[in-house]
Amino acid sequence: MELHNLQHADGAKKKMKRVGRGHASGTGKTAGRGHKGQKSRSGYSRKPAFEGGQMPLNRRLPKRGFNHQKRHPMAELNLDVLAIKFEDGAVITTDTLQERGIVKVLAGGVKLLGRGDVDGKKFTVRVEAVSASAKEKIEKAGGAVELVVAPEAAVEVAAK
pLDDT, position 81:
92
Binned at pLDDT 50, 70 and 90, residue 151 comes out as low
Q: What percent of the chain has pLDDT over 70?
A: 94
Judged against a pLDDT cut of 70, whether residue 156 lies above it is answered with: no
Distance CA 147, CA 143 (A): 14
Q: Residues 14-42: pLDDT tens digits?
A: 999 999 999 999 999 999 999 999 899 99
Whole-angstrom distance, CA of residue 34 vs CA of residue 27: 11
Residue 158 has pLDDT above 60, yes or no: no
Amino acid at 155: V
Where do the domains of the chain lie, and which CATH numbers do they carry? 18-65 (no CATH), 75-159 (3.100.10.10)
Instruction: Supply the mean pLDDT for the chain.
Output: 88
Query: Which of 109, 102, 105 has the alpha carbon at shortest distance from 80?
Result: 102
* pLDDT score at 152: 60
pTM of the predicted protein model: 0.53
Report which secondary-structure segment, H or E, holds 139. Answer: helix 132-140
Measured CA distances, 53 to 11, 41, 129 (Å): 39, 18, 51
Average pLDDT over residues 100-116: 88
User: Which H or E run contains 124?
Assistant: strand 124-127
pLDDT in tens, 128-137: 999 999 999 9
What's the rounded Cα separation, in Å, for the pair 80 and 74? 18
Element (H, E) at 126: strand 124-127
Helices (H) and strands (E) in the chain, counts: 5, 6
| Interval 45-71: pLDDT, tens | 988 889 989 999 999 999 998 877 777
Q: What is the DSSP string of 48-110?
A: TT--TTSPPHHHHSPP-----TT----EEEEHHHHHHHS-TT-EEEHHHHHHTTS---BTTBE
Mean pLDDT of 87-100: 91
